[in-house]
């Protein structure tokens, strides 16, 4: 039974490390960075007019399966939500009513993301998860207004799991983005990288290189290897600086090349958490000197060290969370067909910038009594963005058919027959029929089961 | 791009510098290097945010050609056509049938030149005070509303409720809905004539406003960077697509009975065609198609073939995924196919819908064929984000 004992000793070691204490500094710096980045993102979102164009202008919204009950709240409501997001992100940064601020931020941010699935971005999902984790972390117990108001809560040490859970979540994004890149198109066809680079060939000096096939291959392979390995190099003390440097370059390059908004900058700053406590302590000293803050010395020795059942419960909870996060992206294996084509099990799996997909969807309504048939004017129902997203995703095609059905029935045409002729191109492939044009989509119900009306790629 | 180069340069320096040889000073530096990196990251953040990625204005030659050789002269032409129409309306003599036919001719010219500016509904034309499409061409006109307004002699054409009672469709009704001799009698009524003049003045006011605004907007338009929602590339492409889809549906599929309204399949209704009374339906469609084709090819109002979307697609060596071969050429060919399909009809659209529905359906299919070429292929290659927001990052 030596292997069992060995495994047991590993798990004990792990558990010990998990609960052992370390400096709170990285967590505090992360809190400040997170708060400020969320503040910047929210202000940017507002300034770009997206509150109006995404939550007020559309006549119809696409729901997440199981979250059909989430609705936008109208103009006053939506702007109020954003004001609260701004306030709570400031509160997070300065550590003021931290628990309430993180909870409020998590709930409101998740709420706005749930309103319309066509706005889905992996990095929004990432923010929601981090905000959720932040609710449980004692990130306000040093260098915060909360500590200034109530010095007795000050902490200088926190258990390893607190910082590790943030690192885990960050690492997961890179690692799974890397796994997703291990596919034939990406590695052996340099697709869709070739298409993306082709569009940048007019850039001065380096533009000419972008039409070279080997450049597309290098970008593809480098991206894949980077994503798969960077988190391990960041964890290693020896390679950390170099890994971080390559991370900065990687994100700046992708940020310059693609319209991916705040994401690169959030990642560049968030991954600072991988640096040592000393490094973060220096940042804290720096912030204190700039703002002329005095250090609040912990009055008594506080510790978050848990014992017995509570310790086991926490370990169990964190391990299940990690397990879920690592298994969930693989749920696509339960579905037949090409993942990129059907997108069944595609979301919430860190599949970022992986494919170039475009679609055109013609919807037709037939009156079953008269046989009269006509093409739907998509612009009467959807915004241009919604239409574009819908045209390549089967579950949204289904939802759209139901949106049409509801409208038509409210106008007195019962049981309309709704067909869709959808042409989709994936990674530059021939545009072909995406779903069965003969199937009456109005009769189908959404669900987690395989959608057998999607045609083969 | 220089930022990336800068980063690469710094990397090189750091990697190449072996710590042993630099000695103490390096060790001292080493403690601060992480901080240097944060500062650097923040700096790059700042400079990248203010400077868009596509700031070399890759499309400036296209925008320049479209603004100077299409938008500005096309608006000017519409403006002068409206001016000419106004003059002939003012010179109207109820006893002279030729003065009516002059008005009718001028109207037709104005309606045709409208077709070449409807696509530019962004920037000044999309301002709430202008909204040219709604104000100038909301067809079919609301005839009873027009008659009520004239009867009442009291109306405010600025109200959105009057969109259907003014503009070119209203003039189409007022100037053509009856035979010339009856029209002459009708138009001798001064309140009717005044209504026509008010409709004209309303349009002229809007167009003048847009033309003036273009003086300063032109620089913004040509110098626009990137492809986010307010970039010229996005505005131009989205309106190009929208104008094409409105042509396909409102001007063709709707009267022919191939369309739906809020999802309800509609019967053919020849009364909803554009230019119903002047019987210009096909001419207007053809003019609209040509206007879009010229933008696509880059042909200016002076007939000179400059930089258009065609040239851009050629530059990218774009391939079509909808048909075989070169994308730039296949879209060009599809434009020709559509134009040929329209020109084969000898009567106006209402007649053809009643007597020749098979050919009308065939033409509609050809219009349809163009859509995936624009949405699946052209959009990808021009990396136009109809997406208003960010794409998924990595």
- Alpha-carbon distances of B175 from B104, B152, B168, B351, rounded to whole Å: 7, 20, 10, 21
Which chain A residue's Cα is nearest to B32? A279
* Residues of B in Cβ contact (< 8 Å) with A261: 389-391, 393
Rounded to the nearest angstrom, the gap between the alpha carbon of residue B295 and the centroid of all alpha carbons in its chain is 10
Dmax (CA) for chain A in angstroms is 82
Q: Using the predicted structure, report yes or no on whether residue A454 has a pLDDT greater than 70.
A: yes
Whole-angstrom distance, CA of residue B294 vs CA of residue B296: 5
Whole-angstrom distance, CA of residue B85 vs CA of residue B108: 9
Per DSSP bridges, beta strands A373-375 and B264-265 are unpaired
User: What tens digit of pLDDT does each residue of B224-246 get?
Assistant: 877 777 789 889 998 999 999 99
Which chain B residue's Cα is nearest to A252? B4
Q: Do B379 and A428 touch (CB under 8 A)?
A: no
pLDDT of residue A299: 66
In this predicted model, which residue has the larger pLDDT, A199 or B158?
Answer: B158
User: What tens digit of pLDDT does each residue of A248-291 get?
Assistant: 999 999 888 887 888 999 999 999 999 999 999 999 999 999 99
Interface with chain A: mutation pick from B35, B378, B392, highest number of A CBs within 10 Å: B392
Q: Is B160 exposed, middle or buried (0-12, 13-18, 19+ CB in 10 A)?
A: exposed
Whole-angstrom distance, CA of residue B118 vs CA of residue B131: 10
The helix (run of H) or strand (run of E) holding residue A158 is strand A157-159
* Alpha helix ranges (H) inside A48-97: 50, 74-94
pLDDT of residue B20: 35
Q: Do A50 and B388 touch (CB under 8 A)?
A: yes
DSSP secondary structure code for residue A62 in this structure:
P
The helix (run of H) or strand (run of E) holding residue A430 is none
Distance (Å) from the alpha carbon of B178 to chain A's nearest alpha carbon? 32
Among the partner residues B259, B389, B393, nearest to A377 by beta-carbon distance: B259
User: What tens digit of pLDDT does each residue of B4-23 get?
Assistant: 333 333 333 333 333 333 33
Q: Is B365 touching A (CB cutoff 8 A)?
A: no
Q: Using the predicted structure, report yes or no on whether residue B67 has a pLDDT greater than 90.
A: yes
Which chain A residue's Cα is nearest to B50? A256
Whole-angstrom distance, CA of residue B106 vs CA of residue B83: 9
Q: Is B33 touching A (CB cutoff 8 A)?
A: yes
pLDDT of residue A7: 76
Please report which confidence band the pLDDT of residue A186 belongs to, taking 50, 70 and 90 as the band edges: very high
* Residues of A in Cβ contact (< 8 Å) with B245: 377, 379
**For residue A212, which phi and psi values (nearest 5 degrees)?**
-75, 130
Within 10 A of A338 (CB to CB), how many other CB atoms are there? Answer: 14
Whole-angstrom distance, CA of residue A288 vs CA of residue A356: 47
Are the CB atoms for A337 and A406 separated by under 8 Å?
Answer: no
In this predicted model, which residue has the larger pLDDT, A304 or A112?
Answer: A112
Q: Do B263 and A407 touch (CB under 8 A)?
A: yes
Among the partner residues A256, A268, A372, nearest to B4 by beta-carbon distance: A256
Half-sphere exposure of A40 (CA within 13 A, CB side): 15
Q: Using the predicted structure, report yes or no on whether residue B24 has a pLDDT greater than 60.
A: no
Are the CB atoms for A154 and A142 separated by under 8 Å?
Answer: yes
Q: What share of chain A has pLDDT > 70, as a percent?
A: 98
* Residues of A in Cβ contact (< 8 Å) with B48: 252, 255-256
DSSP secondary structure code for residue A375 in this structure:
E
User: Residue B312's closest CA among B240, B390, B218?
Assistant: B240
Query: What's the sign of the alpha-carbon dihedral A404, A405, A409, A410?
Result: negative
Reading the block at residue A318, the tokens are 């964190």
Q: Do B245 and A360 touch (CB under 8 A)?
A: no
In this predicted model, which residue has the larger pLDDT, B13 or A333?
Answer: A333
* pTM confidence score: 0.89
Whole-angstrom distance, CA of residue A394 vs CA of residue A400: 10
pLDDT of residue A329: 97
DSSP result, B165-234: GSHHHHHHHHHHSS-HHHHHHHHTSHHHHHHHHHHHHHHHHHHHHHHHHHHHHHHHHHT--SSSTTSHHH
Reading the block at residue A153, the tokens are 């809560």
Whole-angstrom distance, CA of residue A449 vs CA of residue B2: 49
Residue that is written with structure tokens 């983005």 in the block: A177
pLDDT of residue A212: 86
Q: Which of the residue ranges A144-158, A301-315, A338-352 would you say has the lowest mean pLDDT?
A: A301-315
Whole-angstrom distance, CA of residue A308 vs CA of residue A287: 38
pLDDT of residue B394: 47
Please report which confidence band the pLDDT of residue A419 belongs to, taking 50, 70 and 90 as the band edges: very high
Distance (Å) from the alpha carbon of B198 to chain A's nearest alpha carbon? 31
Are the CB atoms for B118 and B207 separated by under 8 Å?
Answer: no
Output Rg (C-alpha) for chain B, integer angstroms.
27
According to DSSP, the residues that pair with A158 across neighbouring strands are: A22
Q: What is the mean pLDDT of residues A177-183?
A: 96
Among the partner residues A244, A256, A372, nearest to B265 by beta-carbon distance: A372
DSSP result, A17-50: HHHSEEESHHHHHHHHHHHHHHHHHHHHHHHTTH
Are the CB atoms for A383 and A57 separated by under 8 Å?
Answer: yes
Q: Do B376 and A387 touch (CB under 8 A)?
A: no
Q: Is B50 touching A (CB cutoff 8 A)?
A: no
- Of A291-295, A350-354, B245-249, the range with the highest mean pLDDT is B245-249
- Alpha-carbon distances of B72 from A91, A422, B125, rounded to whole Å: 51, 38, 12
pLDDT of residue A114: 98
Residue that is written with structure tokens 């909204």 in the block: B131
Q: Using the predicted structure, report yes or no on whether residue A293 has a pLDDT greater than 60.
A: yes
pLDDT of residue A338: 94
Q: Is B321 touching A (CB cutoff 8 A)?
A: yes
Per-chain mean pLDDT for chain A: 93
DSSP secondary structure code for residue A118 in this structure:
G
* Residues of B in Cβ contact (< 8 Å) with A177: 394
Whole-angstrom distance, CA of residue B162 vs CA of residue B153: 14
Residue that is written with structure tokens 């001007």 in the block: B251
pLDDT of residue A3: 66
pLDDT of residue A311: 87
Please report which confidence band the pLDDT of residue A195 belongs to, taking 50, 70 and 90 as the band edges: confident
**For residue A451, which phi and psi values (nearest 5 degrees)?**
-90, 100
* Residues of B in Cβ contact (< 8 Å) with A275: 34
- Alpha-carbon distances of B387 from A72, A168, A382, B234, B340, rounded to whole Å: 20, 31, 12, 9, 34
Reading the block at residue B265, the tokens are 């399949």
Among the partner residues B48, B238, B253, nearest to A256 by beta-carbon distance: B48
Q: Three-state SS for A433?
A: strand
pLDDT of residue A288: 93
Q: Do A407 and B262 touch (CB under 8 A)?
A: yes
* Residues of A in Cβ contact (< 8 Å) with B367: none
* Residues of A in Cβ contact (< 8 Å) with B227: 259
User: Domains, chain B, ranges and CATH?
Assistant: 2-50 (no CATH), 60-381 (1.20.1420.20)
pLDDT of residue B374: 94
pLDDT of residue A14: 83
Are the CB atoms for A257 and A201 separated by under 8 Å?
Answer: no
* Residues of A in Cβ contact (< 8 Å) with B317: 198
Which chain B residue's Cα is nearest to A207? B1
Per-chain mean pLDDT for chain B: 86
Whole-angstrom distance, CA of residue A86 vs CA of residue A80: 10
Q: What is the mean pLDDT of residues A121-148?
A: 95
Whole-angstrom distance, CA of residue B56 vs CA of residue B333: 31
Distance (Å) from the alpha carbon of B244 to chain A's nearest alpha carbon? 13
Q: Do A259 and B226 touch (CB under 8 A)?
A: yes
Q: Using the predicted structure, report yes or no on whether residue A53 has a pLDDT greater than 80.
A: yes
Q: Do B7 and A248 touch (CB under 8 A)?
A: yes
Q: Three-state SS for B151?
A: helix
Whole-angstrom distance, CA of residue B66 vs CA of residue B77: 15
Q: Is B6 touching A (CB cutoff 8 A)?
A: no
Q: Do A227 and B259 touch (CB under 8 A)?
A: no
Q: Is B10 exposed, middle or buried (0-12, 13-18, 19+ CB in 10 A)?
A: middle
Within 10 A of A147 (CB to CB), how many other CB atoms are there? Answer: 21
According to DSSP, the residues that pair with A418 across neighbouring strands are: A365
Reading the block at residue B306, the tokens are 């400059």
pLDDT of residue B392: 60
Q: What is the mean pLDDT of residues A60-69?
A: 96
User: What tens digit of pLDDT does each residue of B130-169 get?
Assistant: 999 999 999 999 999 999 999 999 999 999 999 999 999 9
Are the CB atoms for A281 and B73 separated by under 8 Å?
Answer: no
């Amino acid at each position: 039974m030596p292997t069992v004992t060995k495994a047991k000793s590993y798990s004990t070691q792990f558990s010990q490390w998990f609960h052992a204490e370390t400096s709170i500094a990285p967590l505090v710096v992360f809190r400040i960075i997170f708060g400020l980045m969320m503040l910047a993102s929210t202000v940017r979102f507002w300034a770009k007019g997206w509150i109006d164009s995404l939550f007020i202008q559309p006549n119809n919204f696409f729901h997440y399966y199981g979250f059909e009950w989430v609705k936008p709240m109208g103009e006053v409501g939506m702007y109020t939500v954003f004001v609260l997001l701004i306030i709570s992100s400031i509160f997070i940064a300065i550590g003021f009513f931290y628990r309430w601020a993180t909870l409020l931020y998590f709930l409101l941010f998740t709420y706005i993301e749930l309103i319309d699935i066509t706005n889905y971005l992996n990095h929004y999902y990432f923010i929601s998860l981090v905000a959720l984790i932040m609710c449980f972390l004692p990130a306000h117990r040093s260098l915060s207004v909360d500590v200034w108001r109530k010095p007795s809560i000050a902490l200088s040490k926190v258990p390893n799991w607190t910082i590790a859970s943030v690192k885990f979540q960050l690492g997961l994004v890179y690692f799974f983005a890397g796994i997703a890149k291990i596919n034939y198109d990406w590695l052996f066809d340099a697709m869709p990288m070739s298409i993306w680079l082709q569009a940048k060939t007019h850039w001065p000096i380096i533009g000419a290189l972008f039409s070279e096939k080997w450049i597309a291959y290098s970008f593809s392979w480098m991206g894949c290897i980077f994503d798969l390995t960077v988190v391990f190099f960041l964890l290693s003390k020896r390679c950390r600086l170099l890994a971080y440097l390559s991370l900065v370059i990687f994100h700046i390059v992708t940020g310059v090349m693609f319209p991916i908004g705040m994401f690169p900058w959030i990642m560049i700053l968030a991954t600072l958490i991988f640096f040592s406590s000393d490094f973060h302590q220096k940042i804290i000293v720096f912030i204190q000197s700039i703002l002329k803050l005095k250090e609040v010395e912990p009055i008594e020795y506080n510790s978050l060290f848990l014992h017995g059942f509570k310790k086991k419960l926490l370990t169990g909870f964190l391990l299940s969370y990690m397990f879920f996060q690592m298994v969930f992206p693989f749920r696509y294996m339960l579905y037949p067909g090409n993942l990129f084509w059907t997108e069944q099990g595609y979301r919430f799996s860190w599949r970022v910038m992986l494919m170039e997909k475009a679609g055109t969807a013609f919807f037709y309504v037939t009156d079953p009594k008269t046989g009269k048939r006509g093409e739907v004017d998509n612009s009467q129902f959807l915004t241009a963005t919604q239409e574009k997203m819908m045209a390549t995703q089967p579950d949204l095609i289904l939802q759209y058919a139901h949106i049409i059905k509801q409208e038509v029935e409210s106008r007195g045409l019962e049981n309309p027959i709704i067909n869709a002729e959808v042409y989709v191109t994936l990674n530059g492939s021939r545009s072909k029929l995406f779903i069965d044009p003969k199937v009456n989509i109005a009769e189908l119900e959404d669900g987690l089961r395989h959608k057998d009306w999607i045609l083969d790629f | 791009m220089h930022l990336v180069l800068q980063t690469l340069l710094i990397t090189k320096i750091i990697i190449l510098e072996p710590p042993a040889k630099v000695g103490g000073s390096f060790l001292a530096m080493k403690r601060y290097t992480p901080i240097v990196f944060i500062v650097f990251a923040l700096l790059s953040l700042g400079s990248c945010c203010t400077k868009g990625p596509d700031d070399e204005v890759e499309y400036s030659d296209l925008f320049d050609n479209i603004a100077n050789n299409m938008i500005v002269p096309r608006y000017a032409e519409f403006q002068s056509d409206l001016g000419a129409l106004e003059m002939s309306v003012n010179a109207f003599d109820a006893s002279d049938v030729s003065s009516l036919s002059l008005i009718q001719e001028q109207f037709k010219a104005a309606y045709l030149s409208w077709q070449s500016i409807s696509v530019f509904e962004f920037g000044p034309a999309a301002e709430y005070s202008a909204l040219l499409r709604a104000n100038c061409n909301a067809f079919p006109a609301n005839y009873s509303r027009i008659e009520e307004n004239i009867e009442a002699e009291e109306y405010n054409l600025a109200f959105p409720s009057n969109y259907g009672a003014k503009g070119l469709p209203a003039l189409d009704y007022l100037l053509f809905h009856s035979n010339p001799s009856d029209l002459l009698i009708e138009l001798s009524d001064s309140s009717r004539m005044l209504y026509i003049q008010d409709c004209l003045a309303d349009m002229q006011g809007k167009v003048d406003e847009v033309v003036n605004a273009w003086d300063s907007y032109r620089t913004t338009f040509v110098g626009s960077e990137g492809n986010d929602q307010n970039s010229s590339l996005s505005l131009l492409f989205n309106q190009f697509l929208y104008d094409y889809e409105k042509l396909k549906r409102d001007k063709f599929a709707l009267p022919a009975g191939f369309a739906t309204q809020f999802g309800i399949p509609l019967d053919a209704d020849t009364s909803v065609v554009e230019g119903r009374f002047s019987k210009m339906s096909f001419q207007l469609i053809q003019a609209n198609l040509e206007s879009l084709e010229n933008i696509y090819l880059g042909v200016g109002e002076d007939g000179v073939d400059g930089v258009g979307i065609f040239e851009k697609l050629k530059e990218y060596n774009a391939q079509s995924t909808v048909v075989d071969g070169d994308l730039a050429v296949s879209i060009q060919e599809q434009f020709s196919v559509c134009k040929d399909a329209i020109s084969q009809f000898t009567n106006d659209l209402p007649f053809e819908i009643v007597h020749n529905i098979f050919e009308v359906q065939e033409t509609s299919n050809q219009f349809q064929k163009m859509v995936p070429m624009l949405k699946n292929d052209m959009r990808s290659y021009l990396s136009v984000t109809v997406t208003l927001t960010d794409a998924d990052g990595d």
